[in-house]
Amino acid sequence: MSQRINIVGAGLAGCEAAYQVAKRGVQVNLYECKPVAMSPAHHLETFAELVCSNSLRADNIENASGLLKHEMRKLDSLIMRAADACAVPAGGALAVDRNKFTEYVTNEIKNNPNITVINEMVDTIPEDGSTWIIASGPLTMGELPEYIKGLIGDDSLYFYDAAAPIVDADSIDMDIVYCADRYGKGDGDYLNCPMSKDEYEAFRNALLEAEQVELHSFENMIHFEGCMPIEALAKRGEDTMRFGPLKPVGLTNPRTGREDYACVQLRKENKAGTMYNLVGFQTNLKWPEQKRVFGMIPGLKDAAYLRYGVMHRNTFIKSPGKLDATYRLKADKNIYFAGQITGVEGYIESTSSGLVAGINAAREVLGQEPVVFPATTVIGALAHHASDYAGKDFQPMKANFGIVDTEQFPKVRRQSKMERYQLIAQNSLDIIQQIATE
Per residue in 29-48, pLDDT tens? Answer: 999 987 776 665 566 789 99
Element spanning 73, H or E: helix 64-74
Is the pLDDT assigned to residue 88 strictly greater than 90?
A: no
Average pLDDT over residues 161-179: 89
**For position 284, what pLDDT does the model report?**
87
Length of the chain: 438
**For position 226, what pLDDT does the model report?**
47
Which pTM was predicted? Answer: 0.73
Confidence of residue 216 (pLDDT cuts 50, 70, 90): low
Per-residue model confidence as pLDDT tens digits over 58-80: 899 999 999 999 999 999 999 99
**For position 274, what pLDDT does the model report?**
86
Say if residue 280 is in the same domain as residue 323.
no
Say if residue 158 is in the same domain as residue 266.
no
Average pLDDT over residues 363-390: 95
Using CA atoms, how far apart are residues 8 and 18, in angstroms rounded to an integer? 10
Confidence of residue 225 (pLDDT cuts 50, 70, 90): very low
**For position 412, what pLDDT does the model report?**
67
Using CA atoms, how far apart are residues 5 and 22, in angstroms rounded to an integer? 9
Last residue within a domain, chosen from 245, 278, 308:
308
Say if residue 293 is in the same domain as residue 346.
no
Average pLDDT over residues 232-241: 93
**For position 215, what pLDDT does the model report?**
61
Confidence of residue 11 (pLDDT cuts 50, 70, 90): very high
Beta carbons within 8 Å of 118's beta carbon, 6+ residues apart: 29, 30, 31, 32
Say if residue 148 is in the same domain as residue 172.
no
Last residue within a domain, chosen from 280, 308, 336:
308
**For position 93, what pLDDT does the model report?**
81
Number of domain units in the chain: 2
Say if residue 261 is in the same domain as residue 188.
yes
345 CB-side CA count, 13 A: 22
Confidence of residue 293 (pLDDT cuts 50, 70, 90): very high
Using CA atoms, how far apart are residues 384 and 324, in angstroms rounded to an integer? 8
Last residue within a domain, chosen from 245, 276, 308:
308
Say if residue 124 is in the same domain as residue 31.
yes
Say if residue 321 is in the same domain as residue 302.
no
Say if residue 355 is in the same domain as residue 226.
no
Strand 190-195 and strand 178-179: pairing?
A: antiparallel
Say if residue 425 is in the same domain as residue 289.
no
Say if residue 296 is in the same domain as residue 188.
yes
Strand partners, 226: none
Question: For the CA atoms of the chain, what is the radius of gyration?
Answer: 22
Q: Enter the DSSP assignment of 229.
A: -
Which residues constitute the domain of residue 212?
Answer: 166-308
Average pLDDT over the chain, rounded to an integer: 88
Can you give the CATH number for the domain in which 329 is found? Answer: 3.50.50.60
**For position 421, what pLDDT does the model report?**
92
Can you give the CATH number for the domain in which 198 is found? Answer: 2.40.30
Task: Tell me which of 7-11, 147-151, 175-179 is least confident.
Answer: 147-151
**For position 157, what pLDDT does the model report?**
76
Among candidates 72, 25, 52, 45, which has minimal Cα distance to 348?
A: 72
Question: Where is mean pLDDT largest: 94-103, 314-323, 355-364, 389-398?
Answer: 355-364
Say if residue 179 is in the same domain as residue 323.
no
Using CA atoms, how far apart are residues 206 and 189, in angstroms rounded to an integer? 28
Confidence of residue 218 (pLDDT cuts 50, 70, 90): very low
Is the pLDDT assigned to residue 89 strictly greater than 80?
A: no
Say if residue 203 is in the same domain as residue 119.
no
Task: Tell me which of 218-232, 239-253, 317-331 is least confident.
Answer: 218-232
